[in-house]
Amino acid sequence: MRQHSLGLSRSVAGLIASGGSLKEPLDRTEQRIDAGASSRTLPRHRVGLRRLARGRPARSARLALLLVLATGCAAVAQAQPSSKDVIDGPPPPAPPEVMTRDAAGRATIRAVRVDTPLRIDGVLDEGPYRTIPAIAGFLQQEPREGQPSTEKTEAWVLFDDRNLYVAARCWESHPGRAVANEMRRDSINIYQNDNFGVILDTFYDRRNGFLFYTNPLGGMVETYITDERDSNRDWNTVWYVKTRRFDRGWTVEMAIPFKSLRYRAGGSQVWGINFRRIIRWKNELTFLTRIPAAYSSRGMQKLSSAATLVGIEPPPSSRNLEIKPYALADVTTDRVSSPPLANHLGSEAGFDVKYGVTRSLTFDFSYNTDFAQIEEDEQQVNLTRFSLFFPEKRDFFLEGQGIFAFGGVLNPRLTGGGGPGETPVLFFSRRIGLVDGRPVPIEAGARLSGKAGRYSVGILSLQTGEDRRAGAAAANFSVVRIKRDILRRSNIGLIFTNRSPSLEKGGANQAVGIDANLSLFSNLTIVGYVARTRTPRLGRGDDYSYRGTFDYAGDRYGLLVERISVADRFNPEVGFVRRAAFARSYVQGRFSPRPRSIRSIRKINFEGTLDYFTNTAGKLESRQVLGTIRTELSSGDSWTVEHERSLESLVNPFVVGDDVAIPVGSYGFTSWRSSYQLGPQRKVSGTISGSHGEFYNGRRSDAGYRGRVEVTPRLSIEPGVTVNWIAVPQGRFVTKLASTRATFTFTPRILVAALMQFNSESSLVTTSVRFRWEYQAGSDLFVVYTDGRDTLEAPSSALLNRSLALKLTRLVRF
């Protein structure tokens, strides 16, 4: 058994530093990532100054190439013919009316210009709220699709020369029942509260949008939606929001600077827009337009069903230049580095530049890129022979992430969650600036991203320096991604990646692929790609991969069919491949009735899955037959029961934990698993789970809880514990993984958070404490403390490493 985690902090202490998903496999048929030779392997951390690991300077020729490409794409964007948008909905309302609606539930609303800037205080007592009619008539998505909302919502869309204003009055029949217990910026828990949000499709392409939402406490979340599928919640920009409670509900007032948005050039424009209000104590989801229940929590992403916004007049292009310098000071102790460090003082400085080439294309440049403020990865336990996936957390790589997505791998419907599943990823940004879990310096990087007419463009080039401590040579990483919108909600595209030098120590590694994402009708999606790689040391041939997916996702019925193939020498070194050299056939069927006669049950999902893997010679490697029953209760709770029968054929032994090696052979499994999810409206929420069954001619049982405890609306604790009991003929062992995150939020822009983790296999306890103060919109002060301790050592010698970092950023907009 091996645990994996990649630490990302500038002076990281106390993180498990395995190879993560980046270490090469011992053979090309069973890819699994090791943390080290044994569970006692000490962690490796990034310590000291960057000047201890300074490599060659950034290659200006590659960055100059990006500038040339930026200029060319800008010319393409400016050359797009202007044409009047065809409104996808009812005709625009005639003043003073602000909304029209047709029989299908579609709506067109009118934005109203205000003469003076609004005061953002959440009170809604200014003149426009008295004289301009409110937008109303929200429709349910859940529980009764298309029916009027049971609670009244009034909204306004206003603007002046600098800002777009969105305001709402959310009426409540029982104000005391509103769920509001999260203020942390960008927290997913804000979605689990009562909340109000707006999404803006500024190009009116009915597929991409900027989403902003808040709860009664004023918590802030902004998200960028790509192709109605991919949701990047880590995207951040400058905006303002205030909320207030009144005796019959709560109000919200937002100001979104036009500089924070991308849109086409021109005067009066047509945008897409939708509002969403979640009434969590009723578990009711409502929208301005009719959204199919089949989209569930992804309803806001269905921009093709959004309303139309007319009358909006954004300002013409300005310089739209942002500069964000930073300064960093730290002190580091690392007893396992060579040579050891004790209270080593360090300092750094750098900057990021963002320039609007056009209103729809943005050029980013980063010098001496730093990620000291990034929270460490959450540890995981791996009882398989394949790699674990850790999501990207670094800000520079998160913006525009959806543009670089290839082959549908970021679509949670097609991958089963946050990771890519078994689908190879051609561009995985955590390949850059990390070697065997140890951060290496990113000297400089540039990116061009955005829209050019019907094309989405993403071009990226970064230079990393040499780091002798990590054994990393200087390298350049380049990616080109272009997609073209076709039909109503579909696109085709290509991607090219290059890593120089290759990890195989000869020439450069390259990958190229073409893909198609076809969204047909309301619930049918077809996704496919073909890709090849080139690695000189591996030779030519057997270097391809392809995927084809058919997905019908209706509310009552669902069918997912997929075929993936990865050849022996397919090697995307700027990507991620969980499992090498395989062919996969996958079928999943679903029946989801909504029993009207049982009020306590909202929906029952019956699912059957067949997952079949062979090697490239056609020999069976893995087979899984899974049956699932998931009952969704009207209260927000849910109960899941699963029965699995599977087979694993090992052609090489692998160590599963405590030096227990599973020998070559064929193994059959039968297991049961059950979990109960407590709804987010509860003071104590989360998921309780347990399983029991066969495991490589032995037995495996596990139990766990992961959730959230609301102490006060400002203070929350998020405990997590998982225990595995393994008994196989080769030995017995127990793994324990525990974590606790405590967060105190002073305001939505000031918080302190602590994360403590323990893993029995690595015998390490890691602690991370982060203070963040967004003292001005887009400008932050971070104080970060981290440490790591070996639980097998005496207290006096248990400390392995420790660091304290202070980082200050300042955003300047021109």
Q: In this structure, are strands 475-486 and 455-464 parallel, antiparallel, or unpaired?
A: antiparallel
CA dihedral angle for residue 332, residue 5, residue 478, residue 325, rounded to 10 degrees: -40
Backbone angles phi, psi at 647, to 5 degrees: -140, 135
Amino acid at 494: L
Question: Are the CB atoms for 311 and 781 separated by under 8 Å?
Answer: no
Q: Give residue 234's Cα distance to chain centre.
A: 6
596 by Cβ neighbours in 10 Å (0-12 / 13-18 / 19+) ranks as exposed
**Range name among 410-414, 725-729, 741-745 with the lowest pLDDT average:** 410-414
Position 62 scores a pLDDT of: 52
Beta strands in 172-248, from DSSP E residues, in sequence order: 195-201, 209-214, 220-226, 230-232, 240-246
CB of 482 within 8 A of CB of 404?
Answer: no
Q: What pLDDT digit, counting tens, does each position of 577-611 carry?
A: 989 999 999 999 999 999 989 999 999 999 999 99
186, two tokens: 């960008």
Q: Please count the CA atoms within 13 angstroms of the CA of 418 that sit on its side-chain side.
A: 8
Q: What is the mean pLDDT of the chain?
A: 86
pLDDT at 341: 86
What average pLDDT score do residues 705-717 get? 93
Q: Is the pLDDT of residue 249 over 80?
A: yes
714/729 Cα distance (integer angstroms)? 50
| Tokens of residue 609, six digits | 């899955």
574 pairs with which residues across the strands? none
User: Tell me, what amino acid is at 620?
Assistant: L
Mean local confidence (pLDDT), 742-770: 93
pLDDT at 399: 74
How far is it, in rounded angstroms, from Cα 395 to Cα 771?
17
**Nearest residue to 234 via CA among 365, 366, 396, 403:** 396
> Environment class of residue 114 by beta-carbon count within 10 Å: exposed (0-12), middle (13-18) or buried (19+)?
middle
Q: Which ranges in 421-469 belong to alpha helices (H)? A: none
* Backbone φ and ψ of 440, nearest 5°: -120, 155
Of 377 and 473, the one with more pLDDT: 473
Q: Which amino acid is at 235?
A: W
Could you say which DSSP state residue 574 is in? T
Collapsing DSSP to helix, strand or coil, 387 comes out as coil
What mean pLDDT do residues 716-724 have?
96
The confidence band for 574, taking pLDDT boundaries of 50, 70 and 90, is very high
Query: Measured between alpha carbons, how far is 144 from 488 in angstroms, rounded to an integer?
Result: 27
Question: 68 in helix, strand or coil?
Answer: helix
pLDDT of amino acid 84:
59
Q: Decide if 511 contacts 574 (C-beta within 8 A).
A: yes
Say how many Å lie between the first and final Cα of the chain, rounded.
53
Instruction: Determine the Cα–Cα distance for residues 389 and 411; give it in Å rounded to an integer.
Output: 15
- Nearest-CA neighbor of 494 among 509, 477, 480, 478? 480
CA 530 to CA 545: how far, in whole Å? 6
What integer is the mean pLDDT of 78-87?
56
Q: What is the tens place of the pLDDT at every residue in 323-379?
A: 999 999 999 998 887 778 899 999 999 999 999 888 788 899 999 888 777 777 777
Nearest partner of 218 among 198, 245, 238, judged by Cα: 245
Q: Tens of pLDDT along 607-634?
A: 999 999 999 999 999 999 999 999 999 9
CA distance 532 to 30: 20
Per the CB < 8 A criterion, the answer to whether 378 and 393 are in contact is: no
pLDDT at 37 over 60: no
Q: What is the pLDDT of residues 794-807, one digit of tens each?
A: 776 689 889 999 99
Cα separation, 372 vs 786, whole angstroms: 11
> Which percentage of the chain shows pLDDT scores above 70?
87
Region 678-688 average pLDDT: 91
Of the pLDDT bands very low, low, confident and very high (cuts 50, 70, 90), residue 419 is low
Residue 206 pLDDT > 70, yes or no? yes
Instruction: Pick the closest to residue 351 from 409, 418, 396 (CA basis).
Output: 396
Q: Is the pLDDT confidence value at 6 over 50?
A: no
| 3-class state of residue 74 by DSSP | helix
* pLDDT for the residue 398: 74
pTM to 2 decimal places: 0.82
Residue 496: per-residue pLDDT? 98
pLDDT digits (tens, 9 = 90+) for 430-456: 888 877 667 788 899 999 998 888 999
Interval 152-193: pLDDT, tens: 999 999 999 999 999 999 999 999 999 999 999 888 889 999
Cα dihedral 481/482/488/489 (nearest 10): 0
Give the pLDDT of residue 520: 87
Task: Count the residues in the chain.
Answer: 814
* CA gap 453, 20 in Å, rounded: 39
Q: What is the pLDDT of residue 166?
A: 98
Q: What is the pLDDT of residue 486?
A: 94
